Amino acid sequence: MSIQSLGVGSGLALDDLVTQLLEAERRPKEDALTAKEEQNEAEISGLGQIKSKLSDFKDSVDELRSDNDINGREPIISNPSEDDDVLTAEASNSALRGSYEIVVEALASGSRIVTDDGEFTSSSDAVLTSGSGSLTFDVGGSESFTINISSGMTLTELRQAINNSDDNFGVQANIIDTGTSAGPKLVFTSDTTGTGNDLVITNDTGAAELDRLSTTGGTGSISAANITSASNAIAYIDGIAVESETNEFENTIQNVSFEVQEISPLDANGDYEATTLEIGYDRDGLKNKITDFIDNYNSLIDEINTLTRYGQSDLEDDGALAGDSLVRGIQSGLASIVGGSVSASQLGSLFQIGVEFNDDGKLEIGTTDFGLGSGEERLDDAIEDYFDEIATLFTDEDEGIATRLYDFSYQYTNYSGLITLRENAAKEERDNLLDERETLELRMLNYEDILRDRYLSLDLTVAQLNQTGSALIAALGVGI
């Protein structure tokens, strides 16, 4: 007879028996393999997390180590009133602290030239009634451009030609119609400021009609009364007169630049009121940078603690990298750098600016007084007495804490770094575990075939015995 399924012939539950035997064989091996896979995936994930967090930290200390403004100066400007905006200022990191009284007497200006009265009756007057000519606009002999003038060109067209010239270096032409016998006037202004930088208009071809637009040449040239020379900005710093070709005064006060924006107001007696410029340390900016460093460091330590923790009970899982020596090495290395000394700085260590480790291995501005004052007091003292040395503490190219932390983090996070090598090994192990699972499935298929062959023979044997027994019973006429 044909057996379609185990146990059909014998009536025995052989299919269930094979299933149970397969499960008994598979379960311990599969559970062990699953545990390895879960541990492997957790390791890969954990390594990715710590690498990402350490990369973020590396980027933050990279900004800190190259921060040219970590020891920045802060210009504080006090104008005579809220309505005044006399000047703005900037100070380099090497500027000395000080306070200055500044009065602005004049702003820098460019030349201004106005054509004489009665030269034109209308803006549509021809500048040149016959022939052709040209005017050259020049400042200080260093910059110039030329406008060609054809017969019949109007005053308006000349204005447009000047303003639209591609070579124009900063000359603006405008027409003002006086509405009087003086007629319309062409006004030229130059944005090149400073004494000696006067705008000069030259009648190149000598056409007499163009003399009235020229500052040089014959008797018909623009009169001196209508020519305003370019001038310097004039200011007084603590009573000392200073000048600048532009409205910017650079290094007039050493390592300080300021730009004047308006003339100082007058008091009731007609005297100029001074604006106070104080150069001090950017204390708040530096404190914020230190606080940000502490926060970034602690955030990294929190991530390390989460990944390497051991569960406190059977209900609490271990971290993905519990007890991992690589990550513990990272934590130990970071703490060694942060707690180490920096001989390049007079301060010597972060402790001198109030930064300490707490019981959790994280940083804080200390509250304990060790006879040197609390952390906040030490930080304030360092900012007051060793402001520039704080920058050296972090940014010195050989010993700076931020510099060393960047180099340390880089060796773990770069393309061929230590974490990447571990990731590659873990991913290779994942591939091996996939191969092991495939091998297990093949083994179980083979084992199932062996079991089914074995119990198929038993099923057939029992079925034959049942048939023989039934035949004997029938032959003997024994009823059931």
Q: Specify the number of domains making up the chain.
A: 3
> Does 156 score more than 90 pLDDT?
yes
Ordered DSSP codes for 82-146: TT---EEEEE-TTPPPEEEEEEEEE--BEEEEEPPTTS-S-TTSBS-SSSEEEEEEEETTTEEEE
Domain boundary, last residue among 281, 302, 320: 281
Considering the domain architecture, whether residues 431 and 296 belong to the same structural domain is answered as yes
Considering the domain architecture, whether residues 203 and 223 belong to the same structural domain is answered as yes
Considering the domain architecture, whether residues 248 and 289 belong to the same structural domain is answered as no
- pLDDT tens-digit series, residues 55-75: 999 999 999 998 888 888 999
What is residue 10's DSSP assignment? T
Considering the domain architecture, whether residues 262 and 402 belong to the same structural domain is answered as no
Considering the domain architecture, whether residues 220 and 304 belong to the same structural domain is answered as no
Dist. CA 239–CA 236, nearest whole Å: 5
> Does 415 score more than 90 pLDDT?
no
Considering the domain architecture, whether residues 346 and 469 belong to the same structural domain is answered as yes
pLDDT at position 366 is 86
Mean per-residue pLDDT over the chain, rounded: 89
Dist. CA 438–CA 252, nearest whole Å: 80
Dist. CA 10–CA 249, nearest whole Å: 110
Q: 56: part of which helix (H) or strand (E)?
A: helix 14-65
- pLDDT tens-digit series, residues 165-202: 999 999 999 999 999 999 999 999 999 999 999 999 99
Neighbouring CB atoms inside 10 A of 146's CB total 14
Place of tokens 């972060």: 350
Considering the domain architecture, whether residues 177 and 312 belong to the same structural domain is answered as no
In 3D space, the residue among 108, 87, 89 whose CA is nearest the CA of residue 251 turns out to be: 89
> Does 3 score more than 70 pLDDT?
no
Dist. CA 288–CA 290, nearest whole Å: 5
- Quote the Cα angle for 274-278-283, to 5°: 155
- pLDDT tens-digit series, residues 197-219: 999 999 998 788 999 999 986 67
Tokens representing 303? 């991530």
Place of tokens 């034959």: 464
Considering the domain architecture, whether residues 315 and 456 belong to the same structural domain is answered as yes
Q: Residue 278: CB partners within 8 Å, gap ≥ 6?
A: 75, 76, 77, 78, 98, 99, 100
Considering the domain architecture, whether residues 79 and 156 belong to the same structural domain is answered as no
- pLDDT tens-digit series, residues 310-333: 866 665 677 788 888 899 999 999
pLDDT at position 2 is 38
Dist. CA 114–CA 17, nearest whole Å: 115
Ordered DSSP codes for 183-218: -EEEEEEEEEESTT--EEEEESS--GGGGGG-SSSS
Query: Of all residues in the chain, what percent carry a pLDDT higher than 90?
Result: 62
pLDDT mean over 400-407: 95
pTM of full prediction above 0.85: no
Domain boundary, last residue among 228, 255, 271: 228
Main-chain dihedrals φ then ψ at residue 247, nearest 5 degrees: -85, 5
Considering the domain architecture, whether residues 366 and 297 belong to the same structural domain is answered as yes
- pLDDT tens-digit series, residues 257-313: 999 999 999 999 999 999 999 999 999 999 999 999 999 999 999 999 988 888 666
The boundaries of the domain holding residue 179 are: 110-228
In 3D space, the residue among 31, 30, 26, 33 whose CA is nearest the CA of residue 445 turns out to be: 26
Place of tokens 């010239």: 165
> Does 35 score more than 90 pLDDT?
no
Domain boundary, last residue among 243, 263, 281: 281
The b-or-e profile of 266-286 (16+ CB within 10 A means b, else e) is eeeeeebebbebebebbeeeb
Considering the domain architecture, whether residues 19 and 127 belong to the same structural domain is answered as no
Q: Could you give the angle at which helices 283-308 and 325-338 cross, rounded to 10 degrees?
A: 160
Considering the domain architecture, whether residues 290 and 367 belong to the same structural domain is answered as yes
pLDDT at position 113 is 97
